[in-house]
Amino acid sequence: IYDDAQVRAWAKVTDAVHAAGGKIVVQLWHVGRSSHPDLLPDHASPVAPSAIQADSIAFTASGPKPCAPPVALDRAGIREVAADFAKSVANARRAGFDGVEIHGANGYLIDQFIRDRTNHRSDEYGGTAKNRARFALEIAAAASEAWDAGHIGIRLSPFGTYGDMGDSDPENTFGTLIEQLDPLGLAYLHMVEEFPFANIQMEPGQAPSREQRAVFHRLRAFWNGAYIANGGLTADSAETLLEDGYATATSFGRPFIANPDLVERFR
């Protein structure tokens, strides 16, 4: 959603959703190192916080290929990415979306800055958890300048391993980030708490352990706004999270892909 043609095209979609009484939020993401020159203008290299290649796959027009070695963003590049996010937020507003979700999860660029497996920088964007949170905070601030913070949400996946991700101390890393995000007054925090393929530093198909579940409850305490819980939920388990006050809302991904009428099925 970076040019006028896309704004015009998306406006048809948002108009249709509103005509049916719905609301629609656009998720904005930059994949960072999870890419390949085949996908980029002028066959350029992917960018990342540090020049660390992902042991993962990029899906190109000619089929899956190993992710290419990235180049580390310099400060000018970081400012450019923040400006791109701000422009996309402004375009989303013009296109009639009801809000924007910043994708800071699933091993993409913002997540790569947050976690120490992928961020080996020695400047103000690397090292401590506070420094590694800086990029995400700057993106959130830029988005909030393009549209008020009440229309901006953010998605995080503290234990995600998808995209060759990890962190030596997820609770400290994400606690530091969430504590700094909270005063911005964003619309919501969308937290991936379980994922089907090795998202939570566990074997595929396993649920979070009691210890990992306790970490999410402690992270939740840093956030005073609306909280969306995501991952591995059923109608009943989601209802329990709402009833006990843990979550403001819950979200479903895979069940919706197979069941476009999921809401009616739940009803």
Structure tokens at 194: 């379980």
Rounded Cα distance between 105 and 120, Å, is: 18
Rounded Cα distance between 231 and 254, Å, is: 9
Question: Which residue(s) pair with 57 in the sheet?
Answer: 66
Rounded Cα distance between 58 and 61, Å, is: 10
Q: For 56, phi and psi rounded to 5 degrees?
A: -155, 180
Rounded Cα distance between 55 and 53, Å, is: 7
Rounded Cα distance between 185 and 228, Å, is: 15
Catalytic residues: 108
* Cα-Cα end-to-end distance for the chain: 34
Which distant-in-sequence residues (6+ apart) come within 8 Å of 128 by Cβ? none
Structure tokens at 44: 């350029």
Rounded Cα distance between 121 and 113, Å, is: 9
Q: Counting beta carbons within 10 angstroms of the beta carbon of residue 57, is it exposed (0 to 12), middle (13 to 18) or buried (19 or more)?
A: middle
Structure tokens at 127: 């090292």
The neighbour count for residue 197, using CB atoms within 10 Å, is 9
The neighbour count for residue 126, using CB atoms within 10 Å, is 18
Structure tokens at 183: 């005063």
